Amino acid sequence: MNSSPIPNTAPFAEEEIEILNRVVGPASPTQRAWLAGFLAGMNTATTAPQPAVGAQPAEPLTILYATESGNSERLVSDMAKAARKMGLKPSIVDMADLDVATLASVRRLVVIAATWGEGDPPARAIRAYGELMGEGAPRLDGALFGVLALGDTAYTEFCAIGKALDARLEALGGKRVVDRVDCDLDFAEPAGRWIKTALKALAPVEEAGRGRVIAVDFGAKAASTADLGPVEAEITEFIDLNSSQSEKETIHLELGFDGAAPPYKPGDSLELYPENDAAYVDDLLKAAGLASDAALRAELTKGRDVTTLSLKTLESYAATTGHQHQEVKALLESGDARAWIAGRQLIDLLQFFPITLSADQLLQVTRPLALRAYSIASSRREVGEEAHLLISAVRYQSFGRARKGVASGHVADQLKKGQRLRVKLRPNRHFALPAPERDIIMVGPGTGIAPFRAFVQERRATGASGRSWLFFGDRHFTHDFLYQLEWQDALKDGSLTRMDVAFSRDTPEKLYVQHRIWNQRRDLVDWLDSGAYFYVCGDAKAMAKDVRTALVRAYADVKALSVEAAEQAVNNLDREHRYLQDTY
Amino acid sequence: MTKELSRNERIKEASAYLRGTLAEGLREEITGGIIEDDAQLVKFHGMYLQDDRDLRAERVRKKMEKAFSFMIRLRVPGGVCTPGQFINLDHIVRTYGNGTMRLTTRQTFQLHGIIKSNLKATMREIDAALLTTLAACGDVNRNVLCNPNPYQSRAHAASLALARALSDHLLPRTPAYREIWLDGERIAGGEEEVVEPIYGKTYLPRKFKIVIAVPPSNDVDVYAHDLGFIAILDNQHEIDGYNVTVGGGMAMTHGEPETYPRMADVMGYCRADQAIAVAEAVVTVQRDWGDRVNRKHARLKYTIEDRGLDAFRAEVEQRSGVKLAAAKPFTFTSTGDRYGWTESDNGCAHLTLFIENGRVKDVPGGVQWLTGLRRIAEVHDGDFRLTANQNLIIANVPKDKRKSIEALVAEHGLTTGASALRRNAMACVALPTCGLALAESERYLPDLVTALEERLAAHGLAEAEIVIRMTGCPNGCSRPYVAEIGLVGKGPGLYNLYLGAAFDGSRLSKLYAADLDHGAIIANLDPIFAAYKSERRDGEHFGDYVIRADFIAATVNGADFHKDTGARR
Ligand code: SRM
Ligand SMILES: Cc1cc2nc3c(=O)[nH]c(=O)nc-3n(C[C@H](O)[C@H](O)[C@H](O)COP(=O)(O)OP(=O)(O)OC[C@H]3O[C@@H](n4cnc5c(N)ncnc54)[C@H](O)[C@@H]3O)c2cc1C
Ligand SMILES: Cc1cc2nc3c(=O)[nH]c(=O)nc-3n(C[C@H](O)[C@H](O)[C@H](O)COP(=O)(O)O)c2cc1C
Ligand code: SF4
């Protein structure tokens, strides 16, 4: 229906009209009915407004989420909107802030949880997740619940966290009113369906006859107005920052936009629409025994994930190819499948168990090609309507085949200055700069340095008074010191207070950022005691964990604490949102 | 009016005996370099700040500073070290260096490509190997050279002993070296006490080089150094004294005729037991008389030119209390090395290896110098001797060990000689590490030699012993002005050709043609080779021939090095 029912002629200021429209526009008939009654009542009543006749309080619904890169969070705010319309009073809780004890009183609970690392919870959810899984967790007898899991079939621990929570809530006495759905990277549509079913199952039963009246939650803030749609960008600069004698290739991309850059903040990422390697797609078509028609090739190159080989791929391959591939079934049943797919790609499957596929069958065994996120390495305050990215080319050899990352390989091998590409802003309000007077500690080895370049640019431009300390590491000082000259300047002009570096391959015994953190533990704990924010960006597999462990050991040593107490100290940083992480 | 002292003089003065701010600079993690003044001081500690010039062009665009690293030069008097020490150095270059060692024209090792963060660890390993880098460079007495010829073992023992004694006697005494690289702590004791009895606060005006030659070999190019001792043997082959030479040097600067190479003068004769007193006097006179205003005029060779040999001798005699006698007769036959096996009067055998341009490295699919020499060091218990021609001698091999060493030589493709021109060739380091190089040298000479040998063979001169040396700039690090064919870098791909030096290193060459590229070098030499083949008298060396045949005028001494240059025929 009409989204702005209040006419400009209404006796309100423009912004007031705008606000009213934002409320009344999407309101359901019942909500409008209530408003009408409520406002009418207001004129007569001299005392505080009473709920209109026959009103009954809306059913509260707790929507809990565990997110790292924001997908779950976005789903949660959609769900809250829908919930209100269905007569529920949603309250959104980030697991990072969850006080587990409060769950005892919850009657209606939905959880949307992502899985990270190798089947781990998102970093910010680790603490609450642990408590929920441990003895201390409260009983949830009778509480209605449902779980939506976000994940990526490319990982063997697919949706592990969602699965675990689902089982745990039941074990704690909760009543599952909607079955869990495990979403792959293309989660939008299945997640949408799940939200509908879940809300139906959770909404209070209509009492026949009475039009129910629902409290409108004015507290719920409007969704971010930032335009998150894809935009065209032109590559205005393309530099491989590693020396020509380096084993690595890290590309610094500068993107220009027709008009304004996406309204990004330091800490946000840009998602890139990748393209598969043409030669790889040809091999794939050959392996599938398919004549390469332009349309199919285009679809495979731009639209489908034709490299990932997951258990799911194996299953659907076995299914689509039916009886023809007993071996694949056998492999799946043998339980060796996990080991077999490691280091392999779809092409290997087709070449190892060859059969001629139809175009449809080939499409069926693939999933949509997912966007790739890259931390923005610049601040608009310094670079204007540009965005800079830092992309490390993924290249490796396995099973006698030279392989490369879809997106990073495409950027490194195919793109040049002057070419265009599509990107999409991916905000991350959980990895933002604090108040200008606060100190910041940034740990960003490898491409983890990217957002911190944005941080330092921003703080230089705004003349922030807080101190800043950067930890960087890579392989060789001489060949892999990313943005070295810029850091030297930043140290000179004061926008960077301190920098410690660790290069792992210059010495017999490898040296990493966590070792430098340990060396500097006294000053580090001192900074944190005086309120500094601690940021970690980069590799999720090892680095992020090692850095956290190093910090715990630092606290234990400097403050003479037990390991448990030191862990508490670091957990407190989480609680105060001063331990912020953006890892991948 | 007194002219202003050179910048380096002020740096030395302010350095508190070579400390400067080196300790602080080493802690600066974000740059691989050190500040300019410290870069001058660090030389006295045996290091040079360099950068990989092959990478210069790309670095700024890649937002990186120059590819800085340090070259570390050891001080090994007489070039003699133990196999164990060689093994330590092998470990260092594999762990911290660029995987190669460089044997120098002054009988020592250079280790390239050590980054700042690894300097201290490297220096500690060097110290643990009982080796040092102190005073390998800088305005002090450098490594003392000594003819390594093992076949005159008694004379060698005596001259080596003198080389070591001179080296120790003239070593800087400042504690800065241990302090900065090894102990960390600043050793107490103030400026007031005499830290440097011989040098004083500002050391010498310029580098200072001493050599000892044992005739008939002039492999150390005795006339090319500030101070030289030519051993005079008695009939039992024992050394009873030395002719003392002063004022030699190679360096000049293109387009500055007031700079020139110079052959040392023979100043007189002293007894063996007087050598150290004489050396100290020569050093202190140069300390006080040398030019501290203009570094391009600060070497002893210019002091001698300016003050005259007689005045200089008188002052040295006065300070040393040694009355120099008239020089004794001697004869030099060559400046080259004797390759292959030689036997000595002490019944041991010695193997001289030919290491092209002194670069010790493992060539993928080729000669394995680094590994081969380490394997030899593991079984050898004599000594390793570096020659002034960038080669190495496996010395004092007992008869029964010969076979096993020969086997290792063969297994790793090591060379005990080369074709005539190649075994008489030397190139300086130049690009990519040398900051002063104007042209390639070490990376280019081997190809040029191949091309020239092809011409020589065409004229039937394949076996002619002709000394050829190349440098990447006029500083003369491979002593090109005493080579029969000298090629001195002028600019990228361009060289000046010098001819007419004596085979025994006793006469300087002269500029024959300038700015020659590869083709022009060959085109200029080819007709001279042809004429040499047809006109030479027997035993006549190429350097003497080109003068007699009037291709080039003879250079009598440094002062006329730049006179009547150019082709005459
Ligand atoms: C390694 C070596 C050449 C080689 O291929 O072996 C060498 C290499 C360099 N010489 Fe030399 N010189 C080397 C023997 C010589 C000689 C030959 C000799 O002494 O027998 C000379 C000519 C004799 C003389 O001193 O007159 C020589 C005259 C110079 C000069 C010019 C000195 C002068 O009087 O102006 C410089 C530049 C300077 O000192 O300003 C120089 C400077 C250099 C530097 C350190 C460049 C620099 O100052 O930044 C070169 C390092 C290149 C590199 O990357 O390794 N080098 N240099 C020799 C090491 C000797 C040693 O072990 O101590
Ligand atoms: C929020 C966020 C921010 C990010 N920021 C950055 C950034 O600033 N810079 C950056 O470079 N990246 C960043 N990434 C990572 C980036 O999104 C991509 O994941 C990365 O570039 C790889 O994508 P690709 O398409 O090139 O490789 P893909 O085609 O996705 O291939 C990667 C896969 O290849 C396989 N693989 C890789 N190496 C090996 C090996 N050695 N052996 C066997 N298998 C292997 C693994 O299965 C791996 O998952 C970020 C990710 C996120 C989520
Ligand atoms: C570094 C990294 C590790 C991941 N690990 C897993 C995993 O082990 N299992 C899984 O199912 N999904 C995994 N994922 C996929 C995420 O769960 C998926 O992208 C999800 O949509 C993220 O949701 P969020 O934005 O709410 O955090 C991983 C993603 C990244 C970038
Ligand atoms: S001669 Fe010149 S180029 Fe060659 S090493 Fe010496 S200083 Fe460098």
* In the predicted structure, residue B359 carries a pLDDT above the cut 90: yes
The pLDDT assigned to A326 comes to: 83
The mean pLDDT of chain A is: 90
- Among B55, B63, B94, B125, pick the best mutation site for testing chain A contact (most A Cβ within 10 A): B63
> Which of A179, A177, A183 is CA-nearest to residue A159?
A183
How sure is the predictor about B237, in pLDDT bands with cuts at 50, 70 and 90?
A: confident
The pLDDT assigned to B191 comes to: 53
Residue with tokens 């495979």, as numbered in its chain = A300
Ligand 2 centre distance from Cα of residue A405 (Å): 7
Q: Where are the alpha helices (DSSP H) in A335-448?
A: 337-341, 346-352, 359-365, 380-383, 406-414
Mean pLDDT for B513-538 is 98
Give Cα separations from B254 to B261, B295, B481, B511, B515 (angstroms): 12, 15, 13, 11, 11
Query: For ligand 1, what atom is nearest to the CA of residue B437?
Result: 46
Q: Are the C-beta atoms of residues B200 and B286 closer than 8 Å to each other?
A: no
Annotated active-site residue B137? The verdict is no
What is the end-to-end Cα distance of chain A in Å, rounded?
Answer: 42
Q: Are the C-beta atoms of residues A337 and A349 closer than 8 Å to each other?
A: no
Can you say whether the dihedral through the CA atoms of A516, A520, A525, A531 is positive or negative?
Answer: negative
| Stated length of chain B | 569
* In the predicted structure, residue B48 carries a pLDDT above the cut 70: yes
User: How far apart are alpha carbons A374 and A378 in whole angstroms?
Assistant: 12
* In the predicted structure, residue B112 carries a pLDDT above the cut 50: yes
Q: CB neighbours (10 Å) of residue A127?
A: 20
Mean pLDDT for B95-110 is 98
What residue type is B226 in one-letter code? Answer: D
Ligand 4 centre distance from Cα of residue B173 (Å): 29
The pLDDT assigned to B187 comes to: 61
DSSP letters of B425-477?
EEE---TTT-TT-SS--TTTHHHHHHHHHHHHHHTT-TT----EEEESSTT-T
What residue type is A184 in one-letter code? Answer: D
What is the end-to-end Cα distance of chain B in Å, rounded?
Answer: 48
Mean pLDDT for B171-181 is 95
Q: What are the backbone dihedrals phi and psi of residue A246, each rounded to the nearest 5 degrees, phi first?
A: -90, 150
Q: What are the backbone dihedrals phi and psi of residue A101, each rounded to the nearest 5 degrees, phi first?
A: -55, -35
User: How far apart are alpha carbons B499 and B525 in whole angstroms?
Assistant: 10
Annotated active-site residue B73? The verdict is yes
- Strand pairing of A144-150 and A88-94? unpaired
Beta bridge partners of residue A235, listed in sequence order: A255
Report the chain B residue with the minimal C-alpha distance to residue A491: B30
Residue nearest to atom 31 of ligand 1 (CA): B475
> Which of A189, A184, A267, A256 is CA-nearest to residue A434?
A267
pLDDT, tens digit only, all 584 positions of chain A: 456 777 766 667 666 777 777 777 777 766 776 676 566 555 554 444 444 444 566 889 999 999 998 899 999 999 999 999 888 999 999 999 999 999 999 999 999 999 998 899 999 999 999 999 999 999 999 999 999 999 999 999 999 999 999 999 999 999 999 999 999 999 999 999 999 999 999 987 654 444 444 444 433 333 344 457 899 999 999 999 999 999 999 999 999 999 999 999 999 999 999 999 999 999 999 999 998 789 999 999 999 999 999 999 999 999 887 766 788 889 999 989 999 999 999 999 999 998 889 999 999 999 999 999 999 999 999 999 999 999 999 999 999 999 999 999 999 999 999 999 999 999 999 999 999 999 999 999 999 999 999 999 999 999 999 999 999 999 999 999 999 999 999 999 999 999 999 999 999 999 999 999 999 999 999 999 999 999 999 999 899 999 999 999 999 999 999 999 999 999 999 999 999 999 99
Residue A448 DSSP one-character state: G
Closest partner CB to A243 (pick from B30, B32, B55): B55
Which residues are within 8 A (CB) of B225 and not within 5 positions of it... i.e. 6 or more apart?
B145, B209, B210, B211, B245, B248, B249, B264
Q: Which of B142, B292, B401, B469 is catalytic?
A: B142
- Among B64, B92, B116, pick the best mutation site for testing chain A contact (most A Cβ within 10 A): B64
Give tens-digit pLDDT for B177-221: 999 999 876 665 555 567 899 999 999 999 999 999 999 999 999
* 3-class SS of residue A85: helix
User: How far apart are alpha carbons B426 and B486 in whole angstroms?
Assistant: 10
- What is the H or E stretch that residue A456 is in? helix A450-462
| Residue B494 forms contact with A (CB below 8 Å) | no
Ligand 2 centre distance from Cα of residue A391 (Å): 9
As to burial, measured by CB atoms within 10 angstroms (0-12 exposed, 13-18 middle, 19+ buried), residue B182 is middle
Which residues are within 8 A (CB) of B7 and not within 5 positions of it... i.e. 6 or more apart?
none
Give tens-digit pLDDT for B117-160: 999 999 999 999 999 999 999 999 999 999 998 778 889 999 99
Interchain contact, B64 vs A243, CB within 8 Å? yes
- What is the H or E stretch that residue B395 is in? strand B392-397
Which residues are within 8 A (CB) of A392 and not within 5 positions of it... i.e. 6 or more apart?
A248, A249, A250, A251, A408, A446, A447
Which tokens hold the place of B351?
């193997």
Ligand 3 centre distance from Cα of residue A114 (Å): 6
Residue nearest to atom 53 of ligand 1 (CA): B434
Q: CB neighbours (10 Å) of residue B553?
A: 18
Q: Where are the alpha helices (DSSP H) in A510-562?
A: 513-519, 521-529, 543-558
Interchain contact, B117 vs A245, CB within 8 Å? no
Q: Indicate whether this complex's ipTM tops 0.95.
A: no
Give tens-digit pLDDT for B499-519: 999 999 999 999 999 999 999
> Which of A415, A95, A406, A142 is CA-nearest to residue A274?
A406
Question: Is the distance from the beta carbon of residue A398 to the nearest atom of ligand 2 less than 6 Å?
Answer: yes
Give tens-digit pLDDT for B9-42: 999 999 999 999 999 999 999 999 999 999 999 9
| Residue B62 forms contact with A (CB below 8 Å) | yes
Interchain contact, A241 vs B62, CB within 8 Å? yes
| Stated length of chain A | 584
Which tokens hold the place of A454?
């944005």
* In the predicted structure, residue B470 carries a pLDDT above the cut 60: yes
Question: Is the distance from the beta carbon of residue B471 to the nearest atom of ligand 4 less than 6 Å?
Answer: yes
* 3-class SS of residue B349: strand
Question: Is the distance from the beta carbon of residue A157 to the nearest atom of ligand 3 less than 6 Å?
Answer: yes
Q: What are the backbone dihedrals phi and psi of residue B353, each rounded to the nearest 5 degrees, phi first?
A: -95, 145
The pLDDT assigned to A49 comes to: 43
Express as a percent the part of chain B with pLDDT over 90.
Answer: 93
- What is the H or E stretch that residue B304 is in? helix B300-307
Express as a percent the part of chain A with pLDDT over 70.
Answer: 89
> Which of A92, A30, A82 is CA-nearest to residue A61?
A92
The pLDDT assigned to A91 comes to: 95
Q: What is the pTM of this model?
A: 0.90
Residue B263 DSSP one-character state: P
Q: CB neighbours (10 Å) of residue A447?
A: 23
The pLDDT assigned to A48 comes to: 45
**How many angstroms separate the CA of residue A164 from the nearest CA in chain B?**
46
Q: In chain B, what residues touch A508 (CB-CB under 8 Å)?
A: 95
User: How far apart are alpha carbons B437 and B489 in whole angstroms?
Assistant: 8
Residue nearest to atom 17 of ligand 3 (CA): A151
The pLDDT assigned to A58 comes to: 81
